[in-house]
């Protein structure tokens, strides 16, 4: 937490045990960003470039809100930063904005839209439902998580959606079941009709939502969060197979037609650095006390 860094944290809020919201002073990003886009945060000199979807923005205050779950070594470090401290780098907005924004108004007004937010996925869904409400469109939204403690942004979301449905896998809050159980309930039992689903959450959730919506014949947009380095189209780490084409999530997305995404490949690619990341976390947490024989940490 040293250095003459300019991307100052102006607000920090703990949304759950492991999920944090921060407002970051970044006037250039705040001025030109839109729902659906993302930023890259680099904490300090030695940090990784971390892609995070924009959760909100205040053009006048020049701030951008990010939400992250402190699970990896970098996000854990990030969660230790406080208001008044600053990150070394904050770049954006990156990727395309949500296609809803560029849709002809007449077409948009005819669509019955259901947003499906899984876990931290509520963060990127939030600016989209907010934009819809502010532009006069009603939407429904499901927020789903494993349990009650992982449901975030419920109160903020309430202000902008017509119907908000909460669902938890363990039934600790709201509907009992995963988001697909909830979608099925709405469509089959409550007689709801939707023309478009926008599903954002863990890849496994988006995969299964897409399988269901394909059966139901509902067009579905997903926001992909693969491994990235630069986020500007340079490295190709984020490449995905969309239909028969290879696309880069950073410059061609991050939102794609979910029915065309090869999720199995994307999920395998997401695992690529899991062991590497795990090694870093272990080294940090256990330091010299970590002496598990055969652990790759000690190969060097």
Partner 1 sequence: MDILKKVPVREQDPKVRANNFEEVCYGYNLEEAMQEASRCIQCKNPKCVGGCPVSIDIPGFIKEITDNNIEEAFQVISKYSSLPAVCGRVCPQETQCEERCIRGIKGEAVSIGKLERFAADWAREHNIVPEPPKEKNGKKVAVIGAGPAGLTCAGDLAKLGYDVTIFEALHEPGGVLVYGIPEFRLPKDTVVKKEIENVISLGVKIETNVIIGKSITIDELMEEEGFQAIFIGSGAGLPKFMGIPGENANGVFSANEYLTRSNLMKAFDKEYDTPIIAGKKVAVVGGGNVAMDAARTALRLGAEVYIVYRRGEAELPARVEEVHHAKEEGIIFKLLTNPKEILVNENGWVSGMRCVEMELGEPDESGRRKPVEKKDSEFVLDLDTVIMSLGTSPNPLISTTTKGLETNRHKCIIAEEETGITSREGVYAGGDAVTGAATVILAMGAGKAAAAGIDKYLKSR
Residues that bind partner 1 (CB under 8 A): 28-29, 31-32, 42, 46-49, 73-74, 88-94, 229-230, 232-237, 239-241, 246, 251, 265, 268-269, 271-273, 276-277, 280, 300
Q: Supply the minimum distance, in Å, between the C-beta of residue 69 and partner 1.
A: 17
Cβ nearer to partner 1, comparing 88 with 259 = 88
User: How many CB atoms are closer than 10 A to CB 180?
Assistant: 19
Residue 271 gets which letter from DSSP? T
Give min distance, CB of 233 to partner 1, in A.
Answer: 5
For partner 1, the closer CB: 17 or 299: 299
Comparison of 32 and 80: residue with beta carbon closer to partner 1: 32
Minimum distance, C-beta of residue 111 to partner 1, in the bound complex (Å): 27
What angle is formed at CA 188 by the lines to CA 183 and CA 192, rounded to 5 degrees?
A: 70
Cβ within 8 Å of residue 33, ≥6 positions away: 39, 54, 57, 64, 92, 93
**Residue whose structure tokens are 């040293």:** 2
Judged by beta carbon, residue 7 or residue 126, the one nearer partner 1 is 7
Using the minimum distance from each CB to partner 1, give the nearer residue, 48 or 56. Answer: 48
Smallest separation (angstroms) from partner 1 to the CB of 134: 23
Nearer to partner 1, 176 or 268 (CB): 268
* Spatial separation of the C-alpha atoms in residues 121 and 125, rounded to whole Å: 6
Q: Both tokens of residue 121?
A: 């996925």
Q: Provide, rounded to whole angstroms, the least separation between the CB of residue 189 and partner 1.
A: 38
How far apart, in whole angstroms, are the C-alpha atoms of residue 40 and residue 299? Answer: 32
Residue 195 Cβ vs partner 1, minimum distance, rounded to whole Å: 30
Shortest separation between residue 8's beta carbon and partner 1, angstroms: 14
For partner 1, give the closer residue by CB, 147 or 295: 295
Closest-CA residue to 145 (of 114, 113, 121, 115): 121
Cα–Cα distances in Å, from 31 out to 78, 209, 232? 24, 33, 19
Residue closer to partner 1, measured from CB, 14 or 298: 298
Of the CA atoms within 13 Å of residue 259, those in its CB half-sphere come to 11
Task: Please provide the size of the chain in residues.
Answer: 300
Q: Give first-to-last CA distance, the chain, whole Å.
A: 28
Q: Determine the Cα–Cα distance for residues 43 and 5; give it in Å rounded to an integer.
A: 10
- Report, in Å, the least distance between residue 38 CB and partner 1: 11
Strand partners, 74: none
């Amino acid at each position: 937490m040293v250095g003459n860094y300019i991307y100052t944290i102006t607000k920090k809020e703990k949304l759950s045990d492991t999920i944090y919201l921060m407002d970051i002073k970044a006037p250039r990003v705040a001025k030109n960003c839109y729902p659906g886009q993302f930023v890259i945060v680099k904490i300090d000199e030695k940090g990784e470039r971390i892609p995070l979807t924009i959760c909100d923005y205040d053009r006048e205050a020049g701030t951008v809100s990010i939400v992250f779950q402190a699970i990896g070594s970098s996000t854990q470090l990030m969660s230790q930063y406080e208001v008044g401290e600053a990150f070394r780098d904050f770049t954006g907005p990156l990727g395309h904005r949500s296609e809803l924004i560029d849709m002809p108004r007449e077409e948009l007004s005819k669509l019955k839209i259901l947003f499906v937010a899984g876990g931290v996925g509520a963060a990127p869904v939030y600016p989209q439902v907010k934009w819809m409400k502010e532009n006069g469109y009603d939407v429904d939204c499901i927020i789903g998580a494993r349990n009650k403690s992982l449901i975030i942004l419920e109160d903020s979301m309430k202000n902008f959606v017509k119907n908000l449905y909460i669902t938890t896998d363990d039934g600790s809050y709201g509907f009992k079941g995963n988001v697909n159980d909830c979608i099925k309930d709405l469509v089959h039992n409550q007689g709801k009709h939707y023309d478009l689903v926008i599903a954002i959450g863990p890849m496994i959730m988006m995969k299964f939502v897409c399988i269901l919506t394909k059966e139901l014949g509902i067009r579905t947009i997903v926001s992909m969060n693969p491994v990235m380095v630069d986020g500007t189209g340079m490295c190709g780490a984020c490449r995905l197979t969309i239909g028969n084409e290879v696309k880069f999530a950073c410059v061609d997305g991050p939102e794609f037609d979910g029915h065309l995404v090869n999720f199995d490949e994307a999920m395998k690619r997401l695992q690529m650095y899991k062991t590497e990341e795990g090694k870093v976390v272990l080294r940090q947490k256990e330091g010299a006390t970590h002496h598990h024989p055969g652990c790759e940490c000690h190969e060097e």
